[in-house]
Chain A
């Protein structure tokens, strides 16, 4: 057998939640360690950011000048670069600042903004370097990480399904939050009629986590293949949501996605949604 593949887990602007998908493997992480050599993973105590590796997992978005240098260096050191999570994939929540004036925010929010070194905009990794594979989620799940790593170890390309959440939801026979009108239950449940679920435009992978507990999908797994955000936005209008609320919903996790931006921009009052307050 060839040498164990070497892997690294790098962090950029992020909440660390996606790296936890590795740590949450628990004892299975030890099994994984039989097949790979983890050379850099700060959260797990291995520090070797400049080591050459076979696979580099990257969490987080590129937000500072230093980040730009670091991401280019990682590309040079790694045979494959795989992004994990919304931040690395599309900029994530913090990319909302790209819709506003970053410098203005900086000046308003920090008493001494001169100590903050950040780019005006934050970007997904793919805006700077070639990415070999993207794992979506906010955060990604342990199941997805296992799928990707084991597939690569076996020499197969990892599964990349960007089907809609609705399919996962229906396969599990979850009741559709967008269609069903509750008629029994607590007053709070009754209030919750036909929720604005983003499942029809969101990529599967989470197992329809939110609908499975009766909540609408927020869209954290990113845009599905052949998504129709504009049509869904019109449906939400039919539910009585105002344009501003719809735009905020669409843009929350993945405001960097062109299709979502276009759909949101087509809703009136969008500008107001992010600049007005």
Chain B
């Protein structure tokens, strides 16, 4: 059973979450959306919506709009909060003739994230598979992941770069959440998806009125989802993984390399990419150093440097690595494609390379390609 709450009453939810959690939400910052600390409803981007095209991102503002969650995505979702762009792993100190290693993890308030979309929740599941693999748990990722409280939001609109409908990951939230909001003209539909969610909903019900969802509200919710499902981009309806892995010498890779900058922006914004590298920062007094992990990308030279040899030197190979990992080899690794259709790699690519278009060209019928 779902409930509806008045829009202004979302403040009560923020209050509850802020008591026990560090609460972050989608705020407008420097002409885009960025998940940042939030305690007041008025911080949410009321009236803002996004417009995205290959290589283009803009926010529009409509003072008449009653919607808080009309911006679909910014450059990042929840990834930087769990798999941090820069993470201190440990430090080492020389003391009285011995060396001492120190763990860099420190006690922190649990995290609550408000506003996460279906594509990002699906990508979160992919990151979980990678960072929480059986006995190989990444403690830095796990720190915030274990007690993460998720308030997901169903999309009531999509932008031109979204293709979550064709990957099957959205626009309706399907993966595990604690609370789920669907924004209507006047209200939010709120539903719980976990024990923690039910508890918060219960506290919420003691502070604000929860209404039973009416048939009209249910219909309005469905209309929003239907609207968001109408997307202009899609993954080709062909066995993409097999086709790609047999077309490693397709001419299209060369054509892409004419445009691609090997800048790595696509991998940096992709919510499922997990590559990283590590380095040391020695202290100036030479008594120790800090070991740091940072986001890496298969578009860097170092990424393919092994035993004195770069095995992927050219942009053509970099791009091929990215696309085939995402859409072909991820299946072997994690049982599905590594793409959840968020469209970020299309919007934030400085030259506007569109993965859906490239897949279309690469996976066309055999008569249209030359494999050499």
Give the residue of B29, B260, B281 whose beta carbon is less than 8 angstroms from that of A228: B260
For B351, the chain A residues whose CB sits under 8 A away are: 231-232, 234-235
Which residues of chain A have C-beta atoms less than 8 A from B268's C-beta? Answer: 166-167, 170-171
Instruction: State whether B300 touches A163 (Cβ < 8 A).
Output: yes
Within 8 A of A (CB), among B183-203: none
> By the criterion CB–CB under 8 Å, are A180 and B259 in contact?
no
**In the complex, are the beta carbons of A183 and B58 less than 8 A apart?**
yes
Question: At the interface, yes or no: B286 with Cβ under 8 Å from chain A?
Answer: yes
CB-contact partner of B30 in A32, A35, A214, A231, under 8 A? A214
The one of B31, B259, B264, B284 in contact with A234, judged by C-beta atoms closer than 8 angstroms, is B259
B350/A176 in contact, CB under 8 A: yes
Is the C-beta of A11 less than 8 angstroms from some C-beta in chain B?
no
B230 CB-CB contact with A under 8 Å: no
Count of interface residues, chain B, beta-carbon cutoff 8 Å: 53
A199 nearest in chain B by CB position: B263
Q: Would you call A164 an interface residue if the criterion is a C-beta within 8 Å of the partner chain's C-beta atoms?
A: yes
Within 8 A of B (CB), among A116-172: 146-147, 150-151, 153-154, 156, 159, 161-164, 166-167, 170-172
Q: Contact between A164 and B282 (Cβ–Cβ < 8 Å)?
A: no
Cross-chain contact A173 with B350 (CB below 8 angstroms): no
Interface positions, chain A 156-211, Cβ under 8 Å from B, are 156, 159, 161-164, 166-167, 170-176, 178-185, 194, 197, 199-201
B283 touches A178 (CB 8 A): no
Within the complex, what minimum Cβ distance (angstroms) separates A88 from chain B?
23
Q: A28-B284, A163-B302, A170-B75 are in contact. Are A201 and B261 (CB under 8 A)?
A: yes
B284: contacting residue among A150, A171, A174, A197, CB under 8 A: A150
CA distance A232 to B318 in the complex (A): 17
Residues in B whose Cβ lies below 8 Å from that of A185 = 31
Contact flag A161-B264 (CB < 8 Å), given A153-B286, A180-B58: no
Interface status of A275 (Cβ within 8 A of chain B): no
For A197, give the chain B residue with the smallest CB separation: B350
Contact assessment for B301 and A164 in the assembled complex, using a CB-CB cutoff below 8 Å = no
A91 to B296 alpha-carbon distance, docked (Å) = 30
Given A214-B30, A226-B318, A228-B315, A181 and B57 contact (CB-CB distance below 8 Å): yes
Q: What B residues does A265 contact at CB under 8 A?
A: none
* Interface membership of A225, Cβ < 8 A: yes
Which A207-266 residues sit within 8 Å CB-CB of chain B?
214, 225-228, 231-232, 234-235
A65 at the A/B interface (Cβ < 8 Å)?
no
Whether, in the assembled complex, B279 has its beta carbon less than 8 Å from a beta carbon of chain A, the answer is yes
Is there contact, CB below 8 Å, between B284 and A173? no
Task: Give the shortest distance, in Å, between A106 (CB) and chain B (any CB).
Answer: 38
User: Which residues of A sit under 8 angstroms from B294, Cβ to Cβ?
Assistant: 171
In chain B, residues 47-66, which have Cβ atoms closer than 8 Å to a Cβ of chain A?
Answer: 55-61
In the bound complex, how far is the Cα of B96 from the Cα of A182, in angstroms? 56
Nearest 4 Cβ contacts at the A-B interface: A170-B268, A171-B85, A200-B263, A150-B282
Interface residues of A (CB under 8 A from B): 28, 31-32, 34-35, 146-147, 150-151, 153-154, 156, 159, 161-164, 166-167, 170-176, 178-185, 194, 197, 199-201, 214, 225-228, 231-232, 234-235
